[in-house]
């Protein structure tokens, strides 16, 4: 595998770097410099800046508003944005339901939804998991009953990340309760302003209102919002989850966390010298970097397949498993390096330096990485069945 960049790609990298340095507004740049937390409004501000540049959805095809970048350029763009600590855009519209609509949606749906996903005029969230249907997603019970030109939706979704900010939710619903679990599920798009929808945020273990419970009480949804065939939602969901699991590989996020560990180690003193000079700590950081580099190589293989127009397949489960584990390990190391300062939930003036803002909160929240997007145990079953042919 040739890992060198062409002169054109090198020039593109320089252009991305220059644009990011110039385009980040001062208040966002100040947070980026300390790896701070970006609020929803700040994320959407950056979304619109990238939209005006044409880079908000680098993986979308030109005919649907994408910039026409090749896989290597898309990789470079993502890497440079991570290196700049720019706000991470919400994936639910751009990287999940958008690609699903491009692949499975009809022309009317594509015309209606894709432009507003790109512009940020409509924000999306995901309605998959339920209180008794998480890793075993096919056990979901939210039902959609036919009623003339509409479906009537009743049920509950949970872990609907940032639903309190969203305009629309894409949902898996049961349309044929008599069919076997996977066969009776459909993929619906639901306007969260529809009467009967209730969204209630709740605190994560990290102390942040990232998640919501979402209820549907006789919610009327037009049948024109059905994506793909009736009872064919499992196929759409599998394709969408392939994109989500590739995202959960979090190669850029892990790299950012490793850089955070290095900064903490450089700024924390032990026995009169920086922790970064302690051989044991240097070895722990080095081991994490080696594992991160291996994950990067696996991600590049997936990118090479994407260059050949291949959608993410079961190999995305490998990226999900390893990425989830390394994300947790990186923040475990950050907590260890902080010592007693890690007991602070969020940054407090005079207690925790700004560079270590919210590490404890992120550490707690990211315990979920090995669960969401399909638990790591489920991913191992997928690898055994579809790659190793063991089942």
The answer on 84 and 137 residing in a single domain is no
User: Does residue 101 lie within any of the structural domains?
Assistant: no
Give backbone dihedrals phi and psi of 226, rounded to 5 degrees, phi first. -80, 125
Q: Verify that 223 and 260 share a domain, yes or no.
A: no
Asked if pLDDT for residue 104 goes beyond 70, the answer is yes
Confidence of residue 352 (pLDDT cuts 50, 70, 90): very low
pLDDT: which is higher, 250 or 27: 27
Note whether 291 and 228 are same-domain residues.
no
pLDDT bin (cut points 50, 70, 90) of residue 346 is: low
Domain that holds residue 369: 249-386
pLDDT for res 232 = 95
382, 278: one domain: yes
Determine the angle formed by the axes of helices 7-23 and 40-53, rounding to 10 degrees. 130
The share of the chain scoring above pLDDT 90, in percent, equals: 57
pLDDT class for 148, splitting at 50, 70, 90? very high
Looking at the structure, tell me whether residues 130 and 77 fall in a common domain: no
Q: Which of 283, 265, 252, 273 is nearest to 334 (CA)?
A: 265
The stretch 301-318 carries a mean pLDDT of 68
In a domain, 377, yes or no: yes
| CA pair distance 203, 164, nearest whole angstrom | 12
Q: At what angle do helices 26-33 and 40-53 cross, to 10 degrees?
A: 110
Mean pLDDT of the chain: 88
Q: What residues act catalytically?
A: 244
Give the side-chain half-sphere CA count within 13 A for 314.
12
Give residue 50's pLDDT: 98
């Amino acid at each position: 595998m040739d890992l060198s960049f062409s002169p054109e790609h090198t020039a593109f990298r320089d252009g991305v770097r220059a644009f990011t340095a110039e385009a980040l507004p001062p208040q966002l740049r100040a947070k980026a410099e300390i790896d701070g937390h970006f609020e929803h409004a700040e994320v959407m501000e950056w979304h619109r800046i990238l939209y005006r540049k044409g880079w908000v959805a680098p993986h979308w095809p030109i005919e649907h508003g994408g910039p026409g970048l090749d896989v290597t350029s898309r990789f470079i763009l993502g890497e440079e944005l991570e290196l700049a600590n720019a706000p991470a855009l919400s994936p639910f519209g751009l990287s999940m339901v958008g690609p699903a609509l491009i692949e499975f949606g009809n022309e009317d749906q594509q015309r209606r939804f894709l432009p507003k996903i790109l512009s940020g005029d409509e924000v999306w969230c995901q309605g998959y998991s339920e209180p008794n249907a998480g890793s075993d997603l096919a056990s979901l019970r939210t039902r959609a009953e036919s009623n003339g030109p509409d479906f009537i939706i009743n049920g509950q979704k949970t872990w609907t990340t940032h639903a309190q900010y969203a305009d629309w939710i894409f949902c898996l619903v049961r349309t044929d309760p008599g069919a076997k679990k996977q066969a009776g599920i459909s993929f619906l798009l639901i306007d969260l302003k529809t009467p009967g929808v209730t969204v209630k945020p709740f605190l994560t273990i990290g102390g942040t209102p990232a998640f919501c419970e979402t209820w549907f009480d006789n919610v009327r949804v037009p049948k024109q919002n059905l994506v793909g065939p009736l009872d064919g939602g499992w196929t759409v969901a599998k394709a969408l989850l392939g994109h989500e699991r590739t995202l959960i590989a979090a190669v850029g996020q892990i790299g950012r966390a490793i850089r955070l560990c290095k900064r903490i180690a450089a700024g924390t003193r032990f026995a009169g010298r920086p922790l970064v000079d302690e051989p044991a700590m240097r070895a722990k950081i080095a081991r994490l970097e080696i594992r991160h580099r291996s994950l990067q190589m696996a991600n590049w293989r997936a990118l090479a397949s994407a260059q050949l127009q291949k959608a993410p397949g079961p190999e995305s489960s490998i990226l999900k498993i390893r990425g989830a584990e390394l994300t947790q390990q990186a923040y475990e190391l950050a907590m260890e390096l902080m010592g007693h300062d890690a007991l602070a939930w969020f940054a407090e003036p005079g207690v925790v330096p700004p560079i270590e803002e919210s590490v404890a909160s992120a550490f707690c929240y990211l315990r979920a990485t090995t669960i969401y997007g399909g638990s790591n145990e489920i991913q191992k079953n997928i690898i055994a069945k579809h790659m190793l042919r063991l089942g």
